[in-house]
Amino acid sequence: MDAETGRRLRHQEVWELLPWYVNGTLAAAERQAVDEHLERCPLCQSEVTASRRLSQAVRLAVEMPPSDERVARLLARLAPAPAAATPPPSRGGARLPAAVRWVITLQAAA
């Protein structure tokens, strides 16, 4: 396996851990590995930022009674990410669908 393939595999593994990273449920060793990867991966940094925004939006929605204005603002925050924020395709490894990652993040926020 060449270095580029190994880097992609590690990236994919970290990408799949990001929901748990955001909700703070990773084991210390996994959290450290994700922290190290995040130092050099803008794609994963962007995903963490988006996941944290979603988590915060969910917390706010739970804390405040919904209104039409708040629902509209929440929906605007949840607009689909640009195509550039999509991770490279996995080669052989199973990848959690984006919807599953968001559900995990939402459950943790609740």
pTM listed for this prediction: 0.53
Which of 59, 2, 49, 61 lies closest to 22, judged by CA? 49
pLDDT in tens, the chain (110 residues): 556 655 666 889 999 999 999 999 999 999 999 999 999 999 999 999 999 999 888 887 776 666 788 778 878 888 776 655 555 555 544 566 777 777 777 777 66
Q: Are the CB atoms for 105 and 51 separated by under 8 Å? A: yes
In whole angstroms, how far apart are CA 60 and each of 1, 33, 42, 74? 46, 30, 27, 9
